[in-house]
């Protein structure tokens, strides 16, 4: 198909498709004539995946490029590709990660993992993410929220079983889709759950404060 059809079927504008081509997120099409190229169903699928990660998952274009490169690289062994993809979808630090407040928050994060006996490496990027949140709460004097951490851990443990179960099922039915399922499940699963959570909050709020 031509780029116009690719755009129409994917819902991504032609300039954005060209941008993704330049940034190597999308492989080049087969040249047909001067300045024209032919694209396949595989291009369409890839473009929809990029769109899902960027628009719905909120991943940056750079992070998306890293994830896709890891997914594509046949030289990397399966388990390393999984780890690499997981690493690439972790949001980069948006604030500074130093100072007494952050260091204290980082210890708190490590403590939670120890208390729950979770098998999590010391270098897990999610420990830094958690510390970012805790340090921010501390800085604005909302340390009351720290009280929820234990409940959050309990609920998250419950949810992680759901996540692993579905990814395991997909891997059993379509082994070739496993790696992509992990990425999609982590990025879109977060967006999905956050939406459902807001609906549940609205309901809980309506019940608690009627009228």
Q: CB of 36 within 8 A of CB of 2?
A: yes
Strand partners, 33: 36
Counting contacts by CB under 8 A, is residue 202 touching a second copy? yes
Q: Tell me how many residues contact a second copy (CB under 8 A).
A: 89
Q: By CB under 8 A, what part of segment 85-124 binds a second copy?
A: 90-91, 94-96, 99, 109, 112-113, 116, 118-121, 124
Q: By CB under 8 A, what part of segment 132-151 binds a second copy?
A: 132-134, 136-137, 139-142, 144-145, 147-149, 151
Q: By CB under 8 A, what part of segment 61-90 binds a second copy?
A: 90
Residue whose C-alpha is closest to residue 154's, from 127, 128, 117, 124: 117
Q: Which stretch binds a second copy (CB under 8 A): 15-23, 25-33, 65-73, 195-203?
A: 195-203
In angstroms, give the least distance from the CB of 38 to a second copy.
22
Taking each continuous run of H as one helix and of E as one strand, the counts in the chain are 9, 2
Backbone torsion region of residue 47, taken as left when φ is above 0, otherwise alpha when ψ lies between -120 and 50, otherwise beta? alpha
Residue whose C-alpha is closest to residue 10's, from 36, 38, 43: 43
Residue 53 corresponds to which tokens in the numbers above? 């990660």
Q: Which stretch binds a second copy (CB under 8 A): 14-22, 26-34, 65-73, 184-192?
A: 184-192
Q: By CB under 8 A, what part of segment 13-42 binds a second copy?
A: none
């Amino acid at each position: 198909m031509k780029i116009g059809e690719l755009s129409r079927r994917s819902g991504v504008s032609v300039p954005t498709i060209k941008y993704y081509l330049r940034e190597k997120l999308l492989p080049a099409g087969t040249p047909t004539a001067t300045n024209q190229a032919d694209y396949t169903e595989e291009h369409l699928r890839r473009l929809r995946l990029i769109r899902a990660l960027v628009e719905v998952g909120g991943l940056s274009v750079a992070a998306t490029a890293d994830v896709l490169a890891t997914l594509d690289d046949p030289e990397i062994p399966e388990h390393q590709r999984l780890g690499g993809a997981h690493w690439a979808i972790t949001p980069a630090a948006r604030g500074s990660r130093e100072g007494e407040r952050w260091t204290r928050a980082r210890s708190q994060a490590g403590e939670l993992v120890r208390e729950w006996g979770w098998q999590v490496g010391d270098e897990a990027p999610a420990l830094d993410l958690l510390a970012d949140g805790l340090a921010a709460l501390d800085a604005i004097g909302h340390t009351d929220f720290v009280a929820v951490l234990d409940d959050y851990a309990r609920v998250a443990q419950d949810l992680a079983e759901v996540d692993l179960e579905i990814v395991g099922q997909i891997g059993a039915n379509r082994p070739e889709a496993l790696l992509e399922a992990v990425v999609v499940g982590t990025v879109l699963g977060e967006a999905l759950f956050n939406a459902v959570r807001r609906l549940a909050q609205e309901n809980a709020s309506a019940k608690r404060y009627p009228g």
